Structures are given as structure tokens and as C-alpha cells.
């Protein structure tokens, strides 16, 4: 309060435009000699405001007519309308952020902004990359790069256009999408990255909006991308359609006739080991086999765990989810897997399984169940679904072993595939 009272009336009027006082950490211009600043964030995380304020940071000088660091900028968006309506005229756009004495003028016929000090910013559409051939710039703001229709052509043309000034640089504000250009950009030596979730900017969002999107999309791959601002992995020739899984996601566990805990133990138990996949799946086993539906209930996997740790976690998952059978792959551990489990629950219903074909061959019939709409997921299965998105017809495209997917496949094979191979009473149990 004392600080505010010490300011003159002109200083008070200018105060809202001193963005450093109000900026969130991910909106502050990074220090250092970078070429590209990528701001990754969920919907409503404040990316547009950060981009608009960065443009001000580049073009404005210490006085209204003084030159800033940059004088010729490119503004590139998915379409020209989005550049104009979001980046320039939007509620968090350049015009809304600019103080009166440094307010630029929009020249509609030339598709550009002009500042009192002579700086200009030209608008471009990512659907027309050839328009970037010829002009040259010392700075650029690229918005929603992940959505660009001609992303590679437009990005390449923009890089050739950034060729004047002592050190041309650019800002990319985008919700992360699994685009090769964006992935490569994040790995470049001259790139710095800041990140924010939707809730990081909750003070500027409607409370009902945040509650709704987190309730509706929280825990889904769409939610991880659009709310958490997370790069959701995807792979060509993927076995699973992750968008379809999102569309069929359940909010609550339905009545189930059987529940299975499947375990894929790691070969060793030290800090460098693969995780132990522990996945809980249930099925409604009423009526004809073709009417059965399965639900993936939980991913209880544990990281780099010693045998007694993952065995205890698997037994606890059995009790927590009222499971009637534990299925465990024994390729690596043999009888030791069962012996370790029975240290914690001597009479646990247990079935050993042995992998005799490749992971892709085992996963194929299970992926077919998803295509038939016979498997649904509950929420908060992000780690499992990331592995699923990287399982392809050519094998697993991620790092390490797809331990969670292996456990999922064993569970659904027990519940849905095996009964079709050899008809049996689903309530008969086979203890190890």
C-alpha cells in the first residue's frame, strides 16, 4: 500500500502495463543467448498474453519513439483470421497489452501493425507458407505451432526469413501436439522452454471452467495435452486408437463379474531395472461371451522395485480391488515369482503365464477387443496409456520395456481371449 501511495497519477495509470510485476514464471522472458523460446501450456495457461508481452518487450524502447531491440517482426498463426483476432485484437493480444503512448496501429490492407517508433509486425497464415518467401525479419511470434496445416513448409520459410539484426529470435506459444517439427525444436541447442498447466493461470479463469474440464477430461490423454500442457506420445502404425479410448472413458467402475491383477515382473530389482507392471482389469461376464465387456480399473505399477516390493504391491492391489485371480508372467523368474508372492499371501489365487510369442503378437488380439468397443478405461491411467500409444505393428517405440502394456495384455487375455479359445466356466479358478 505504501508503494502505491508513493506513485504519481501517471505512474499509477502506467502500472498495469509493467508486465514484470504481474507475469507468471512461465511468462517471463528467459535469460541467456537463445534463438527460440517455446512456451508450452494447457488451454488458458496464459500463452497468448506471454507472446503479446514478448512482442512489446522486443519493439518498445525506453520512450515511445525510441527503437527497441527488434523492428521488423513476423506474426504467424494457423490462419490469418486467427492472427488478427487472437494475436492482434484478442483480449490478451498485442493491442490489449500495449500502453496508450506506445499503442500500435493496425493497417488492415497491409496486414500489419505499426508502432510509433517505426517498428512493424506483419501477419502471416501457416496455410500460405510462400508468403514468407521474400520478407526478412529480426523477430517472430509463432502461435499454436502444433495446429499449423502446413507446418513443415511454413516453419522452414520462417527460419529463412529470420535473417536480419544482430541476433534474430522467435517465440513459439503452443499447446503441445505430437508433431516432429515441435519435437525436434524442443531438442535444439538454441531452444529454451517454459511450461504451464491450465490451473497455473486459474486466477484469470472462471472457476466453473477449470472444475468442468478437470472433471470431464482429467486423467485422459486429451486432458494431459489440453490441461496439463503435456506432449502426449503417439506413434505411426499404433496398435491402439487413443482418441477412441478417450471417447469411451468411464467415470466410475461398473458392476463386474471378474477382476484380475496381472503382473509383469522385471528381470532384476535395482535402480536401473524396468518397472514392474501391475494392472487391474475387470470384466462383466454375464450372458454370451460376445457380450462381455472389460474395464481397465487401475495401474498399480511400481518403479525399479525389488521382488519383495512389487510382490507386496501386487497382493495389496488384489485386496484393494477385490480381485479373484493374480496372473503373473514367469519368463524371467520362474517359480521364484510365485514363491515371492506367497510370502505375502500364502493362498492367493495365482496363475502363471509364459510368453512364447512376441509382444506385438500377444497384443494384437487385445487391440482387436478395443477396436470392437469391448474395453473401456477409467481415468488416471496416464502412464499405461503413454506406453500403449507407443506400441506399434513394428514393436514398442519407447524406451525400456512396455511393462504396463504387458500386464494389461495378460489381464485381458485371461479375461476375454482365453475363454474364447477354450470355453470354460469363468468362475472356475486355477491356483498355482
Give residue-wise pLDDT tens across range 274-331. 789 999 999 998 888 888 999 999 999 998 668 889 999 999 999 999 999 999 998 8
Buried b (16+ CB within 10 A) or exposed e, 365-384: ebbebbeeebbbbbbebbeb
Return the C-alpha torsion angle 231, 31, 166, 134, nearest 10: 20
Read off the pLDDT of residues 166-187 as tens digits, 9 standing for 90 and up.
999 999 999 998 787 898 899 9
Across the chain, which has 432 residues, the per-10-residue mean pLDDT values are 65 73 91 96 95 97 95 97 97 95 96 98 96 96 92 95 96 89 91 95 90 80 84 74 89 95 79 82 91 96 85 96 95 83 92 89 91 93 90 83 95 93 48 40
Reference 304, options 268, 340, 262, 343; nearest CA is: 268
Read off the pLDDT of residues 27-63 as tens digits, 9 standing for 90 and up.
999 999 999 999 999 999 999 999 999 999 999 999 9
Cα–Cα distance, 130 to 142 (Å, whole number): 16
Predicted TM-score of the model (pTM): 0.63
Reference 368, options 241, 254, 273; nearest CA is: 241
C-alpha pair distances (Å), 382 with each of 146, 215, 244: 21, 15, 15
Of the CA atoms within 13 Å of residue 294, those in its CB half-sphere come to 29
User: Which stretch of DSSP H or E encloses residue 299?
Assistant: strand 293-299
How is residue 130 written as a grid cell?
A: 510462400
Q: Cβ(232)–Cβ(224) under 8 Å?
A: yes
Cα–Cα distance, 141 to 77 (Å, whole number): 9
Sheet harboring 112-114: ordered strands across? 105-107, 112-114, 120-125, 72-77, 139-143, 169-174, 36-41, 191-196
Amino acid at each position: 500500500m505504501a508503494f502505491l501511495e508513493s506513485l504519481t497519477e501517471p505512474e499509477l495509470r502506467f502500472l498495469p502495463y509493467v508486465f514484470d510485476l504481474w507475469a507468471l514464471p512461465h511468462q517471463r522472458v528467459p535469460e541467456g543467448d537463445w534463438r527460440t523460446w517455446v512456451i508450452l501450456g494447457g488451454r488458458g495457461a496464459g500463452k497468448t498474453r506471454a507472446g503479446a508481452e514478448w512482442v512489446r518487450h522486443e519493439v518498445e524502447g525506453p520512450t515511445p519513439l525510441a527503437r527497441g531491440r527488434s523492428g521488423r517482426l513476423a506474426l504467424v498463426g494457423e490462419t490469418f483470421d486467427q492472427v488478427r483476432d487472437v494475436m492482434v485484437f484478442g483480449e490478451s493480444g498485442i493491442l490489449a497489452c500495449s500502453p496508450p503512448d506506445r499503442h500500435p496501429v493496425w493497417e488492415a490492407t497491409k496486414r500489419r501493425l505499426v508502432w510509433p517508433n517505426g517498428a512493424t509486425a506483419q501477419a502471416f497464415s501457416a496455410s500460405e507458407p510462400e508468403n514468407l518467401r521474400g520478407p526478412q525479419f529480426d523477430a517472430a511470434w509463432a502461435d499454436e505451432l502444433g495446429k499449423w496445416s502446413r507446418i513443415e513448409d511454413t516453419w522452414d520459410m520462417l527460419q529463412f526469413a529470420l535473417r536480419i539484426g544482430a541476433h534474430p529470435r522467435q517465440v513459439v506459444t503452443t499447446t503441445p501436439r505430437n508433431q516432429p517439427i515441435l519435437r525436434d525444436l524442443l531438442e535444439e541447442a538454441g531452444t529454451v522452454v517454459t511450461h504451464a498447466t491450465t490451473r497455473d493461470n486459474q486466477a484469470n479463469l472462471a472457476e466453473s471452467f477449470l472444475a468442468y474440464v478437470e472433471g470431464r477430461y482429467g486423467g485422459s490423454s486429451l486432458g494431459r495435452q489440453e490441461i496439463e500442457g503435456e506432449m502426449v506420445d503417439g506413434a505411426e502404425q499404433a496398435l491402439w486408437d487413443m482418441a477412441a479410448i478417450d471417447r469411451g472413458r468411464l467415470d466410475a467402475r461398473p458392476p463386474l463379474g471378474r477382476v484380475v491383477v496381472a503382473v509383469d515382473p522385471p528381470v532384476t530389482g535395482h535402480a536401473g531395472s524396468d518397472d514392474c507392471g501391475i494392472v487391474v482389469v475387470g470384466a462383466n461376464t454375464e450372458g454370451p461371451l460376445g457380450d462381455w465387456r472389460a474395464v481397465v480399473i487401475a495401474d498399480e505399477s511400481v518403479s525399479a522395485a525389488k521382488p519383495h516390493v512389487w510382490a507386496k504391491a501386487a497382493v495389496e492391489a488384489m485386496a484393494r480391488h477385490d480381485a479373484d485371480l493374480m496372473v503373473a508372467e514367469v519368463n524371467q523368474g520362474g517359480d521364484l515369482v510365485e514363491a515371492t508372492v506367497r510370502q505375502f499371501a500364502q493362498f492367493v489365487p495365482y496363475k502363471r503365464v509364459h510368453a512364447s510369442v512376441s509382444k506385438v503378437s500377444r497384443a494384437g488380439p487385445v487391440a482387436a477387443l478395443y477396436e470392437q468397443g469391448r474395453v473401456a478405461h477409467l481415468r488416471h491411467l496416464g502412464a499405461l496409456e503413454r506406453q500403449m500409444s507407443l506400441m506399434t505393428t513394428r514393436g514398442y517405440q519407447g524406451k525400456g520395456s512396455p511393462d504396463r502394456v504387458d500386464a494389461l495384455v495378460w489381464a485381458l487375455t485371461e479375461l476375454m481371449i482365453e475363454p474364447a479359445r477354450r470355453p470354460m466356466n469363468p468362475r472356475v479358478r486355477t491356483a498355482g
